[in-house]
Chain A
Amino acid sequence: MTKYNIWFFSSVLIASIVALPIITVFFSFFYETSNYFIILKNTFLLDYIFNSIVILFFVILITFFLGVLSAYLVSFYEFPLSNFFSWALILAFAVPGYIYAFSIIAFFENYGTAFSLMTYFFGESNYNLIIPKIDGIIGAILAISFSLFPYVYVLTRASFHYQSNNYIEVGKNLGLSSKKTFFKIILPSARPAIIAGLALVSMECLSDFGTVSFFSVNTLTTGIYNSWLSFDDLNTANQISFILLLFILFIFSIEIYSRKEARYHQPGRGYKPITKIKLYGKNAVLPIIICSVILFLSFLFPVSQMIYWTIKFPKYYQDINILNININTLILVSLASVSIVTISLFINYGSRISKSKILNYLTNFSISGYAIPGVILAVAFITFFSNLSDFFSDNFSLKSTKGIFIGSVLGLILAYFIRFFSLSFNGIKSSYEKINNSIDESAYLLGYSKIKTFLTIHIPYLRTNIILIMLLISLEVIKELPITLILRPFNFETFATQAYIYASQDLLEAAALPSLFLIFWSTILILLSSRYILSKKN
């Protein structure tokens, strides 16, 4: 029987807040739209879908190749720098796709960095003709792939890492060669992890807004954004969102399914870590080269490009109030991480002690938030609160309440909450589940009240995890572009929005400084939480 207590009502509240965007998008399907949607349907809509699918296809291909190859090398072989590579490869997480996109353009454009380098080494000539123009859809595919491959890398590596040596030994004992062992035992057993990684990549890829918009590739996300910004047509935006959501939900269900399957592949009691094969001299050269190239392309290349430009164009230092942006970022990061983690702890605790099934369903429902692309979330958010405000002013003749949530820090934090609640909730849950229920019961029997048990047993146990989750939320908030861009208060800039605004005004040189700051803070956060990211089993 469900008890209608505080836990129940707060879970219902959280679930409905997180479900806001989905519900809004769904209902907007039944609303009238302007002619724009008809025009769009007859002209560009198929293009949007086609481009999204093409980008998705190649991104999956490239991230699979990069992620599995690098994970394989660092998991099964020991070579000079292999330990360094095993954590350094996740640094690519610090470079969002859109910043990678700036670097590509900066490097390959006419008279860009490639041109300067060639002039420096080979003397003056018109190299513009021979330098390939990486632009448009190809640029978007490369930028997105290099910024997302660590998802595949991290999950595959964890799966390889936790794979019991027993299987490999049994394989050898049954007479399989190393190659056969890899293809018949190792790879199949890592399959759920690889699929989960690719599913995350797919969701992020379909959600990407900054990169495709910078390269002027029309996809579903830019379609949503343009309908809102250029045509001020929220319903059309929401109807395109609906199409995109169908894709996302399909991938989301693949992801959930493969995660479930991945659980069966967790090591049992007889787990023995893999004995790595040691590579020396000549044999070590190829893996070192492969890992170095991936690290260079995914992280060092965009970082050095941004450093180079920051130094080359000092005149923008005065234009950008970088201190202010740092403070803005700090405000957002601390408000978001503290509030999201506090609420996740609260809800986790509630579902732990009340043990109600309905509560479980509700919380499971709330965690679907992370599947919803930032653009959809932001547009749906505006739609919902505009309608709400109109409703209140029509019926109760109140003044417009739009300003409370749209274009305010409060609204921004609420939107981050919808997007990142699942990250935080699941992170705390996985650690909470490790505290056996009989531990709580022992504490009660020793005379500890529920709240005292929470404070003296749970909180100290979860402390490290809470800090890590806060770091991860901070990382996400710093990198987040579309939600911040659409919902931020007037003249309130973060590194991401400042860089994007300069870049979209063709002032790429000016975008370098905020981009560099963004990468700098992200790198620090990744280094602080690397142990956690790398140990993630799922």
Chain B
Amino acid sequence: MVENFFEIQNGYFTASEKNKVNDVNLVIENQGEIVSLLGPSGIGKTTILRTIAGLQKLSKGKIKLGKRFLASDDIHIEPEKRNVALSFQDNSLFPNYKIIDNINFGVKRTNGNSSSINVNEIIELLRIEPILKKYPHQISAGEAQRVSLARSLMSKPDLLLLDEPFSNIDQSLKDEIQVSVKKLLKRINLTTIIVTHDSYEAFSMADKCGIILGQELKQYDIPYNVHHEPNSIAVANFLNKGIFIDVQVVDSECAVHRLRHDELGEIRGKLSNNFPSGAKVKLLLQPEDLIHDDQSKLKLEVVDRKFKGTNFIYTLKTKKGEHLPVFVHSHHIHQHEKSEQFGVKSPIYIDHLVCF
């Protein structure tokens, strides 16, 4: 059997009575994979990172890195001996050292991962050049985060943990830095766990994404599946991608599955879970699922319209009182005002029919 690179077996993470995550099973099969943990604030994501780093004790279960157990019921390896780097969300730079010296603090570790990585390259990549000679109190929060990341990278850890690493970085710089950090992590083959509450960040950075809700790891899968096939109503609600409407399964036997909604009519696609024909279920309807069509006979009343830059989101109301979100490209030549009728292409076709 091939050994997993990193593993949490039935891990219980506790910071306080409210802030805990129970019975976590998480596997990173290969070195160099990037995993993101996504969840609302204060749910215990940071606790998981701190426990993996050894700053807090694991309440129950096992954590294994390579062949070595980092923590279990009777093992607790001290943080300085784990070779696990954690880049903190808040400022953790040494206040009495210049930025360059702070980064060099990381370099001193010798027994680390031997992959080639160069200080100058990181400084350039993270755009730290102009502030090298400054002290931590003279730089912005976003800059401090980048320096902290650089310091962690330079320590050549076996496992890198990032706690909301881009939260203070300007939006304009964020995307660019995310891309280059991901490239770098992949090149030096550094296994990384990123904690974030931003789903776009979690999806774009990671090979696999874990959703933490209600004190447990609800779903752990590739980002595409997490987005398109959330495994519970809670996950779908957290990702806030759409609404649930009541439908009835008409046909779940053929290649194309068919559902029926009282007002929208027939909805076709592929069911992600199996239901017998005739079952009454809740269908996840995401904004990109309905398509605007002025010619269509299926008309719904507009109750709200939001301009989002690249698109509009219309909210349509059914007679039953359901509010359905619909994306329309913002170059769309005409706009519909409130209480106007809005045509929706029918029959409706949705690739992933997510029902519960």
Asked whether, in the complex, the Cβ of B92 is within 8 Å of the Cβ of A436, the reply is yes
Given contacts A446-B85, A446-B108, contact A461 B95 (CB under 8 A): yes
Q: Which B residues, 279 to 331, have Cβ-Cβ distances below 8 Å to chain A?
A: none
CB of A329 to closest CB in B, whole Å: 33
Asked whether, in the complex, the Cβ of B90 is within 8 Å of the Cβ of A438, the reply is yes
Q: Which residue of B54, B82, B86 contacts A442 across the interface (Cβ within 8 Å)?
A: B86
List the B residue with the shortest CB-CB distance to A463. B96
Contacts of A442 in B (CB 8 A): 86, 88, 92-94, 148, 151
Asked whether, in the complex, the Cβ of A441 is within 8 Å of the Cβ of B92, the reply is yes
Asked if A112 lies at the interface with its beta carbon under 8 angstroms from chain B, I say no
Asked whether, in the complex, the Cβ of B86 is within 8 Å of the Cβ of A441, the reply is yes
A430-444 interface code vs B (CB 8 A; 1 in, 0 out): 000011101101111
Asked if A445 lies at the interface with its beta carbon under 8 angstroms from chain B, I say yes
Bound Cα distance from A435 to B85, whole angstroms:
20
Q: Which B residues, 67 to 119, have Cβ-Cβ distances below 8 Å to chain A?
A: 78-86, 88, 90-96, 105-106, 108-109
Q: Which B residues, 239 to 278, have Cβ-Cβ distances below 8 Å to chain A?
A: none
Asked whether, in the complex, the Cβ of B155 is within 8 Å of the Cβ of A446, the reply is yes
CB of A37 to closest CB in B, whole Å: 55
Asked if A457 lies at the interface with its beta carbon under 8 angstroms from chain B, I say yes
Asked if B53 lies at the interface with its beta carbon under 8 angstroms from chain A, I say yes
Asked whether, in the complex, the Cβ of B53 is within 8 Å of the Cβ of A439, the reply is no
Q: What is the total of A-B residue contacts with beta carbons within 8 Å?
A: 67
Bound Cα distance from A436 to B88, whole angstroms:
11
Contacts of A443 in B (CB 8 A): 94, 105
Among A435, A447, A457, the one with the most B-chain Cβ atoms within 10 Å of its Cβ is A447
List the B residue with the shortest CB-CB distance to A447. B109
List the B residue with the shortest CB-CB distance to A452. B80
CB of A390 to closest CB in B, whole Å: 50
Asked whether, in the complex, the Cβ of A448 is within 8 Å of the Cβ of B90, the reply is no
Contacts of B109 in A (CB 8 A): 446-447
Asked if A449 lies at the interface with its beta carbon under 8 angstroms from chain B, I say yes
Given contacts A446-B108, A461-B95, contact A441 B83 (CB under 8 A): no
Given contacts A436-B90, A438-B88, A438-B90, contact A446 B105 (CB under 8 A): yes
Asked whether, in the complex, the Cβ of A444 is within 8 Å of the Cβ of B90, the reply is no
CB of B117 to closest CB in A, whole Å: 15
Q: Which A residues, 482 to 523, have Cβ-Cβ distances below 8 Å to chain B?
A: none
Q: Which residue of B54, B78, B106 contacts A446 across the interface (Cβ within 8 Å)?
A: B106
Asked whether, in the complex, the Cβ of B151 is within 8 Å of the Cβ of A446, the reply is yes
List the A residue with the shortest CB-CB distance to B94. A457
CB of A458 to closest CB in B, whole Å: 10
Bound Cα distance from A444 to B109, whole angstroms:
11
Bound Cα distance from A107 to B83, whole angstroms:
73
Contacts of B55 in A (CB 8 A): 441, 444-445
Asked if A460 lies at the interface with its beta carbon under 8 angstroms from chain B, I say yes
Contacts of A460 in B (CB 8 A): 96
Asked whether, in the complex, the Cβ of B96 is within 8 Å of the Cβ of A444, the reply is no
Contacts of A436 in B (CB 8 A): 90-92
Asked whether, in the complex, the Cβ of A445 is within 8 Å of the Cβ of B84, the reply is yes
Contacts of A441 in B (CB 8 A): 50, 53, 55, 79, 86, 88, 92
Q: Which residue of B81, B95, B105 contacts A435 across the interface (Cβ within 8 Å)?
A: B95
Asked whether, in the complex, the Cβ of A447 is within 8 Å of the Cβ of B155, the reply is yes
Contacts of B88 in A (CB 8 A): 438, 441-442
CB of B179 to closest CB in A, whole Å: 26
List the A residue with the shortest CB-CB distance to B154. A446
Asked whether, in the complex, the Cβ of B83 is within 8 Å of the Cβ of A447, the reply is yes
Bound Cα distance from A436 to B137, whole angstroms:
13
Q: Which residue of B81, B94, B106, B155 contacts A439 across the interface (Cβ within 8 Å)?
A: B94
List the A residue with the shortest CB-CB distance to B102. A442
Asked whether, in the complex, the Cβ of B80 is within 8 Å of the Cβ of A444, the reply is yes
Asked whether, in the complex, the Cβ of A439 is within 8 Å of the Cβ of B93, the reply is yes
Contacts of B85 in A (CB 8 A): 445-446
Contacts of B84 in A (CB 8 A): 445
Contacts of A434 in B (CB 8 A): 95
CB of B203 to closest CB in A, whole Å: 27
List the B residue with the shortest CB-CB distance to A450. B80
Bound Cα distance from A445 to B88, whole angstroms:
11
Asked whether, in the complex, the Cβ of B96 is within 8 Å of the Cβ of A445, the reply is no
Q: Which A residues, 399 to 450, have Cβ-Cβ distances below 8 Å to chain B?
A: 434-436, 438-439, 441-449
Asked whether, in the complex, the Cβ of A444 is within 8 Å of the Cβ of B78, the reply is yes
Contacts of B54 in A (CB 8 A): 444-445
Bound Cα distance from A442 to B55, whole angstroms:
10
List the B residue with the shortest CB-CB distance to A434. B95
Contacts of B106 in A (CB 8 A): 446
CB of A7 to closest CB in B, whole Å: 17
Bound Cα distance from A29 to B86, whole angstroms:
58
Q: Which B residues, 151 to 171, have Cβ-Cβ distances below 8 Å to chain A?
A: 151-152, 155
Contacts of B53 in A (CB 8 A): 441, 445
Contacts of B105 in A (CB 8 A): 443, 446
Bound Cα distance from A443 to B78, whole angstroms:
12
CB of B105 to closest CB in A, whole Å: 6
Bound Cα distance from A69 to B337, whole angstroms:
67
Contacts of B94 in A (CB 8 A): 439, 442-443, 457, 461
Asked whether, in the complex, the Cβ of B80 is within 8 Å of the Cβ of A445, the reply is yes
B212-231 interface code vs A (CB 8 A; 1 in, 0 out): 00000000000000000000
Asked whether, in the complex, the Cβ of B79 is within 8 Å of the Cβ of A445, the reply is yes
Bound Cα distance from A448 to B82, whole angstroms:
11
Contacts of A435 in B (CB 8 A): 95
Contacts of A445 in B (CB 8 A): 53-55, 79-80, 82, 84-86, 152, 155
Bound Cα distance from A460 to B96, whole angstroms:
7
CB of A454 to closest CB in B, whole Å: 13
List the A residue with the shortest CB-CB distance to B85. A445
Asked whether, in the complex, the Cβ of B80 is within 8 Å of the Cβ of A448, the reply is yes
Contacts of B79 in A (CB 8 A): 441, 444-445
List the A residue with the shortest CB-CB distance to B107. A446
CB of B209 to closest CB in A, whole Å: 24
Contacts of A461 in B (CB 8 A): 94-96
List the A residue with the shortest CB-CB distance to B79. A444
Given contacts A445-B53, A445-B79, A446-B155, contact A438 B108 (CB under 8 A): no
CB of A431 to closest CB in B, whole Å: 11
Bound Cα distance from A442 to B108, whole angstroms:
13
List the A residue with the shortest CB-CB distance to B88. A438
Bound Cα distance from A461 to B136, whole angstroms:
13
Bound Cα distance from A449 to B81, whole angstroms:
9
Bound Cα distance from A446 to B108, whole angstroms:
8
Asked whether, in the complex, the Cβ of B86 is within 8 Å of the Cβ of A439, the reply is no
Bound Cα distance from A461 to B90, whole angstroms:
19
CB of B352 to closest CB in A, whole Å: 41
Contacts of A448 in B (CB 8 A): 80
Among A436, A438, A445, A448, the one with the most B-chain Cβ atoms within 10 Å of its Cβ is A445
CB of A268 to closest CB in B, whole Å: 16
List the A residue with the shortest CB-CB distance to B83. A447
Bound Cα distance from A442 to B154, whole angstroms:
13
CB of A441 to closest CB in B, whole Å: 5
Given contacts A446-B155, A448-B80, contact A439 B92 (CB under 8 A): yes
List the A residue with the shortest CB-CB distance to B81. A447
Contacts of A447 in B (CB 8 A): 80-81, 83, 108-109, 155
Asked whether, in the complex, the Cβ of B151 is within 8 Å of the Cβ of A439, the reply is no
Bound Cα distance from A436 to B50, whole angstroms:
15
CB of A137 to closest CB in B, whole Å: 51
Bound Cα distance from A435 to B155, whole angstroms:
22
CB of A464 to closest CB in B, whole Å: 10
7 contacts between A and B (CB under 8 A): A435-B95, A439-B94, A439-B95, A442-B148, A445-B53, A445-B54, A461-B94
In the complex, besides A441-B50, A445-B152, A461-B95, 7 extra interface pairs with C-beta distance below 8 angstroms are: A438-B88, A438-B90, A441-B55, A441-B92, A446-B80, A447-B83, A461-B94
Please give the residue numbers on chain B whose beta carbons come within 8 Å of chain A beta carbons, in ascending order. 50, 53-55, 78-86, 88, 90-96, 105-106, 108-109, 148, 151-152, 155
Among all A-B residue pairs, the 8 with the closest Cβ atoms: A438-B92, A444-B79, A442-B92, A447-B109, A461-B96, A438-B88, A444-B80, A447-B80
